[in-house]
Amino acid sequence: MNARIEIGHLLPAWSKFRNATDIAPIRNAAHYRRMVATLEALLDASGGDESHPAIELVDIVGGLIEDYESAQQSLPETTGIQALKFLMEQHGLKQSELHEIGSQGVVSEILSGKRALNIRQVQALGERFGVSPATFV
């Protein structure tokens, strides 16, 4: 790609994209809810395939959601694994009870940092705990 950006072409394209998708920095709770729904739709479209073209948008929308949540909450920074551990504790769950992300061995590797969560697992955890999938990204 050419390092020189043609602003005259970029701004109309951006405006058209933003208006068609609603993907933009989140400014209020209503837009936040729409962006979470967009993230969930993108995750559904990708079907857990990390090479799917929607994955780039998952990263962008997830980042926008994360930025908004960080600005709205004065909670300490946590990783997705820390959030998972917290939710497991709050729900009294053992590693062997998280069937949606894999066997007890897979869960153990994820919790120890030896393995990363994939898109399918992130989506399944969001559904199980009723939180944004971005919680685990």
- pLDDT tens for 71-101 read 776 556 788 899 999 999 999 999 999 998 9
Confidence check: pLDDT of 52 > 70: yes
Residue 2 domain-assigned (yes or no): no
The tokens describing 118, both together, are 């994939």
Residue 46, CA atoms < 13 Å, CB-side half-sphere: 24
> How many percent of the chain have pLDDT more than 70?
95
Residue 124 domain-assigned (yes or no): yes
**CA nearest 126: which of 42, 16, 10, 54?**
42
Residue 89 domain-assigned (yes or no): yes
pLDDT at 74: 53
**CA nearest 133: which of 44, 21, 22, 23?**
44
CA distance 60 to 65: 9
The tokens describing 64, both together, are 């926008």
Residue 27 domain-assigned (yes or no): yes
What value does the mean pLDDT take over residues 17-39? 93
pLDDT at 76: 62
Confidence check: pLDDT of 4 > 90: no
Report the first-to-last Cα separation within the chain, whole angstroms. 28
CA distance 27 to 45: 26
Residue 36 domain-assigned (yes or no): yes
Structural domains of the chain, count: 1
Lowest pLDDT segment from 16-30, 75-89, 90-104, 105-119: 75-89
In terms of residue numbers, what domain contains 106?
A: 7-136
pTM given for the model: 0.54
Residue 13 domain-assigned (yes or no): yes
Residue 1 domain-assigned (yes or no): no
